[in-house]
Structure 1
Amino acid sequence: MRKVLMPLLILTFLAPAALALWQAQGLSRLFAAFAESGELLQGCTDVPEAVALAEELRDRALRIERYMRSIEDRKTELAKAEESLTARLRELKAQKSRIRARQDSASSDVRSDIDRLVALYDQMKPDQAAAVLTNLPADFAAEILIRVRPEAGARIIAAVEPRQAALLTAQMGARSVRKQ
């Protein structure tokens, strides 16, 4: 008798589930229907296995329903986090653009200042330019010497003391290597 009763009970519980799925009801409504299994046990309350199975199914349905709710809550949290991250990303990209614009502007200003200095040194006499360049930091002096006209640069380096000229020439060569 027990061997016949278990498949009958399984069919009793699976039939409503199949019907609910067939009608495309939501999962939570499906499990809620199992949780209210009072009418399914009508006439079977004297079979302890059926009662235990019904309670087990009800408990599982309730756990699944809680789990589905927690998944929905997590989906909501993830959507909010994604929204927040997207907004932050947009903000960072805007800041990056502003910083890049400022850097480009500053670089342009520096280039124009250096161009003016180069024009100034091009107009100076080599002895005077050499005297000033020897008092500047070597990397800055090398930058100016690289940018002046080659003839003016050669005359200026010739007017510089040999030790200082070697240092400036090394700086100019090192700068050229760094650019490559």
Structure 2
Amino acid sequence: MKAPRPAPGPAPRKPRRRIGRGALMLIAALFASSALVRFGSGFALALDSAEATEPATETAACIDDQGVMALYTEVQTRERKLAERETVLSDRSKAIALAEKRIEQRLASLVEAEQNLAQTVTIADKAADEDVTRLVTVYENMKPKEAAPLFSAMAPEFAAGFLSRMRPETSAAVMAALDPKVAYTISVIMAGRNAGAPQN
């Protein structure tokens, strides 16, 4: 019978590597470069702020690059053109506003003239209607034999207008005293006046 094997003990520890001098040098170099970057950025900011405080004329005078000067000239040209266009647009808008104001004034004048004309036409129509009513009254008071020659001399349309406004018995008496051809023509005109009117 074999002898039992002894229980395994803890594994032997590997010796730790010592941090070499190279790693320390690398960390020191990183700190130094970080300090240099911070110092350089602060110096650059100080230079930028100092340049920003210089007058604009000195800055423009320091520009020597031809490309930058050409770009600056082009920007100035465009700004001038834009200013000219703004002036033109402003003048046009003022002209349009003035034209609109004149058109509104003319429209107001036309509306007023139309109203005056409508009033004048109404007055003239009323006066003409009153004149025709007076003439109808005159013709109605005449004897049919005396009125017949007047109606024979009138244009048939004109005579038909008077006879249609007269009382039916008086109109009939005047028509009876007229020449039959004239009376027939006037009758046709009087009958056809309302032929095209709607029946309902």
- TM over 0.5, shorter chain: yes
CA distance, structure 1, for counterparts of residue 99 and residue 129 of structure 2: 44
1:69 partnered with 2:91: no
1:163 aligns with 2:181: yes
- 2:135 pairs with 1:93: no
Task: Give the alignment partner of residue 50 of structure 1, picking from 68, 72, 82.
Answer: 68
Q: Which residue of 1 aligns with 2:145?
A: 127
Tell me if the contact between 1:141 and 1:168 (Cα under 8 Å) persists in the aligned partners. Answer: yes
Q: Distance in 1 between matches of 2:142 and 2:74?
A: 98
Out of 79, 89, 101, the residue aligned to residue 97 of structure 2 is 79
Work out the percentage of aligned pairs sharing the same amino acid: 28
My pick for the range that moved more, 123-132 or 111-120, is 123-132
Contact kept? 1:41, 1:54, Cα under 8 Å: no
TM-score in terms of structure 1 length = 0.69
Where do 4+ consecutive residues of structure 1 move more than 4 Å? 37-43, 177-180
**Do the aligned partners of residues 122 and 59 (structure 1) sit closer, same or farther apart at CA in structure 2, a change above 3 Å counting?**
same
Q: How far has the Cα of 1:174 moved from its partner?
A: 4.5
Equivalent-residue separation in structure 1 for 2:58 and 2:179 (angstroms): 108
Normalised to the residue count of structure 2, the TM-score between the two structures is 0.63
Tell me whether 1:105 sits opposite 2:118 in the alignment.
no
1:40 deviates by 7.3
Residue 177 (structure 1) shift: 5.0
Q: Once the two structures are superposed, what CA deviation does each residue of 1:27-83 show, in whole Å capped at 9, x if it has no partner?
A: xxxxxxxxxx9787564x333322222211211111111111111111111121112
What is the DSSP-based 3-state SS (H/G/I as helix, E as strand, rest coil) of the residue aligned with 1:176? Answer: coil
> Quick one: structure 1 residues 39 and 110, their matched pair in 2 at CA, closer, same or farther if it must change by over 3 Å?
farther
Question: C-alpha separation between the residues in 2 aligned to 1:60 and 1:174?
Answer: 79
| Compared CA separation, residues 90 and 178, structure 1 to 2 (3 A) | farther
Tell me how far apart the structure 2 counterparts of residues 72 and 154 of structure 1 sit (CA, whole Å). Answer: 77
Q: Quick one: which amino acid aligns to residue 107 of structure 1?
A: D
1:146 aligns with 2:187: no
Aligned-residue Cα RMSD (Å) equals: 2.4
* C-alpha distance in structure 1 between counterparts of 2:99 and 2:195, whole Å: 47
Q: Which moved more, 1:89-98 or 1:69-78?
A: 89-98
Q: In terms of Rg, which structure is larger?
A: 2
Q: State the distance in 1 between where 2:66 and 2:195 align.
A: 89
Partner-residue secondary structure (3-state), 1:82: helix
Whole-angstrom CA distance in 1 between matches of 2:188 and 2:59:
95
Residues 41 and 50 in structure 1, CA contact (< 8 A), matched pair in contact too: no
Q: Size of the alignment, in residue pairs?
A: 143
Q: Which moved more, 1:116-125 or 1:105-114?
A: 116-125
